[in-house]
Chain A
Amino acid sequence: MATLTSAGPPAGTEHEVVLTVEGLTIVLDPSGVNIDDEVSLLIRQGEVLGLVGESASGKTTAATSLLAHQRRGAKIAGGHVTIDGRDILALSDAELRDVRGGLISYVPQDSSASLNPALRIHTQLMEILEAHDFGASSADREARLAEMMAEVLLPSDAAFLRRYPHQLSGGQQQRVAIAMAFANRPKVIVLDEPTTALDVTTQAHVLDTVRDLTRRYGAAALYVTHDLAVVANLADRIAVMYAGRVVETGTRDELFDRGQHPYTRKLLSSIPDITGERALQGIPGWAPRPGQRPTGCAFAPRCDWAIERCGEEFPPVDGPSAEHRVRCWRWREVGSQGAEQDVQLRDKGLALCETPETQVISVRDVIAFYQKKETLHGIDATLCERRCLSLVGESGSGKTTLARCIAGLHPYRIEGDITLRGRPLERDARDRSRAERQAIQYIFQSPYSSLNPRKTIRQILAAPLKVFFDLSRDEMEDRMARALEQVALDATLLNRYPEQLSGGERQRVAIARGLAAEPTVLICDEVTSWLDVSVQAAIIELLAGLQRDMGLSMLFVTHNLALVRSISQEVAVMNEGRIVEFGLVDAVLDDPQADYTKKLLSDTPTI
């Protein structure tokens, strides 16, 4: 996308400030625990401010308070939100109804939940124009409605407008939500991770639309996201939040090139790099939730730069310029260090393995069905010894179906051959031999669903050990401790329940459960898609290390092309139930042959 890479500051020099947030503090109501602490932001006309933070950083709570809305149990304890000179937090309910959707509007994360399923698109869009008395007549409003649809690149013919939300695709729904948000030409628009649920291609289109409209109407946009790569292409300025506080704000270039806060720096190195020139580095630990945040700088426990003072006192606002603000005691020192530019070492002499002896899993002409519908159309693929094969594709491409077919977890009809070391595998894991079940281990996408919430980590890890080995109690304990050690977790976690662990820890437990079976093949199905970027990077590092050290063959299923280089040697690109391109990672990413791969590469946001 040509437009994706040209996100400079808007034309013109000094634009007036539309939105200011000062010292906004939001607490949980009865407990008084801080969700957001002294958040200050400002956005100018026609500018996009990216508000970046990992889960539980308080970014969404801060964003919705710009509309004077708090989720249940949260309360604004202090601060001001000023839009165009009006103090939003001081408005009455009636005034707020007028302001919301008019002066300031909101695009939620999940548009399918925000559109009324019982109303036609036309009715919903008309409703918001009528509510704010747009134009003089209904003809004016109809004209505006057609214009809105054109702006978000949707058809405005009567047949389309008569549709219900469920008759639209996810991307179309999100466009309708954006059209609604821009309907009354608001001064401020708050976008809360509107592309999280979308495929990269759709995401690229939606981001284009947001940027165009912001420019065209001179609106001030706050774009909330956990994905730095997305804001890199979209935002003019960026505010980084950590544990309820804004730790650094500055222009996009200042933050990406000269980040002064250790967290910003670390966050950047957590982002998978599609060019493979930067090594992926995770941040140890995870972001603390409200109520568990340490005193002083909340990042100190995870920070390489931390000094004693960091644990005692939260640093004041400081920074190299009036626009580039940092809250870190040691920002000068952090900033004086150049950005780390590790070049990842990759064996350039690597060749595709073709010899049958090294093939661990071989898939030949596999056709799979979902209920009665054919979803995989003749797949051929090979997984070799000590190799990691990435399986990349958008949702619905059939990549998870293929992975589940190999694991024996696909509940519908499969045709063709799947072999393990030359021996054909049964379709259903239950019909496979114990050795076959043990050889292939599957790590699921969501660690929130793959660990039984009513079982302790000990019981969870015991499941494969009981089935695959006859062990004494001491041997079991040993194996469990070792499995946890392999995933860098402490053995004291054995007595905990999954809900007492963070998302990253849960995924490590799930990996440990797979490793406990001592497999030869590890299938990882989108294992990082539920995790924060800093945690994702740590899990990728872990998996890459395990695969190398234990000599595992790994099938790494992902929708994120940028991760591929960090972990695998070979890549297969899937689209609509077919493998459209297969080869060594460097060959495919540097010189893609298939049109689909090219499109996927160009749509993947990069920093």
Chain B
Amino acid sequence: MSEVAGTRDPSLVEVGAVVSARRFTWLRTTLVEAWRLRVTKIGALIVLFMVLMATFGPLIAPYSPTELVTTSFGPPSTEAWLGGDSIGRDVLTRVLYGGRTVITLAVAATSIGMVLGVTLGLIAGYARRAWDETIMRLLDVVLSFPQLVLTLLFVSILGPKLWLIVLLTGVSHAPRIARVTRAATVDIAQRDFVHSAESFGVARRRILFGDILPNITSPLLVEFGLRLVYSIGLISALSFMGFGMQPPAADWGLMINENRQGVLLQPLSVAVPVVCIAVLSVGVNLIADGLDRVLGGAERDTGAG
């Protein structure tokens, strides 16, 4: 489209830059408002703590994650505060190392799911009719497999590769995200400002990402939080089942698997990674909950418009 090419005029890029700074203002107001709620504050502190632990944990860890420090399932001692694991490595050190993978993989997988799901949902919700039906029914097929089964199916065929796990987790999120996106898009696509853009002849792609997407960020932000929780669980589960991180890597999910035979001898070797996964999930969930309250409330207030 020749008229769209005109917008690539370099002089306009600056206008765009000013604009994105303003859109950021809206996001910031939302975050500030969410921060006022106690749930968000607690959630954010938890997540912050877990992220800091995962990032800087390895720096303060007393040993190397593969170093044999005590006996197999050695009890807590002054050398190993949280005791030893199945082959005598330090549980504390391995917990400090083991968060990185879960968090990065979960964030990456969720992001892939968001990009896929949001794009498909926007197209389905805006195009309606044949495209809508085709996309949503195909996604229903994906949706009919439990997420874990879907991922296991491919991992067991193609082997436990990290990129594959991230990709599959993302793909398995896409249908749910697409549903949320589609529902929000259908509502926004009926608004007159979309018709106005259509009457000017603005390109469909620009209407989708320029006009509609900024108006559905609220439900998507909440959805991102929720999907992140599921990603953490799913990736930990895969590691637990031996399809995720491979020994001798330190990973919370993997630790639970390695140490489960000694759960009675050295309960901390299983309990600590379990608690870490749980606390991280709860923290993310609380943030999503807080955002939902702020954004949901705002949507209801302006619902008439």
Contact = CB atoms under 8 A, between A and B. Distances in A.
Interface of A: 407-409, 429-430, 432, 434, 437, 440-442, 444-446, 448-456, 458-460, 462-464, 466-470, 472-473, 476, 495, 497, 499, 510, 513, 517
B195 A467 contact: no
A563 B195 CA distance: 26
Given A444-B195, A445-B192, A466-B6, A437 B12 contact: no
- Top 6 nearest A-B pairs (CB, nearest first) are A448-B305, A454-B214, A450-B192, A444-B192, A473-B11, A452-B193
Contacts of A495: 22
24 contacts: A409-B198, A429-B198, A429-B199, A437-B200, A446-B192, A448-B305, A449-B191, A450-B192, A452-B193, A452-B215, A453-B215, A454-B23, A454-B215, A456-B22, A463-B196, A463-B200, A466-B3, A467-B202, A473-B9, A476-B12, A497-B26, A499-B302, A513-B196, A517-B200
Interface in B160-205: 191-193, 195-202
B201 A434 contact: yes
A313 B64 CA distance: 78
B212 to A, nearest CB: 9
A517 B3 CA distance: 13
A252 B214 CA distance: 50
B193 A450 contact: yes
Contacts of B14: 473
Nearest to A444: B192
A467 B214 contact: no
A450 B192 CA distance: 4
* B interface bracket (residues with beta carbon within 8 Å of A): 20 to 34
Interface of B: 3-4, 6-7, 9, 11-12, 14-15, 19, 22-23, 26, 191-193, 195-202, 211, 214-215, 302, 304-305
Nearest to A433: B201
B215 A468 contact: no
Nearest to B6: A470
Contacts of A409: 195, 198-199
A467 B191 contact: no
A407 B198 CA distance: 10
Nearest to A469: B6
A449 B199 contact: no
Kindly name the residue among A462, A463, A510, A517 whose own CB sees the greatest number of chain B CB atoms within 10 A: A463
Contact of B12 (A442, A444, A453, A473): A473
A538 to B, nearest CB: 21
B202 to A, nearest CB: 6
A442 B194 CA distance: 12
A492 to B, nearest CB: 15
Nearest to B198: A429
Nearest to A506: B305
Given A444-B195, A454-B23, A464 B9 contact: no
Contacts of B215: 452-454
B302 A453 contact: yes
Contacts of B3: 434, 466-468
Given A459-B19, A466-B7, A468-B200, A454 B26 contact: yes
A468 B211 CA distance: 18
A434 B305 CA distance: 30
B27 to A, nearest CB: 10
Contacts of B199: 407-409, 429, 437, 440-442
Kindly name the residue among A430, A460, A499 whose own CB sees the greatest number of chain B CB atoms within 10 A: A430
A133 B199 CA distance: 59
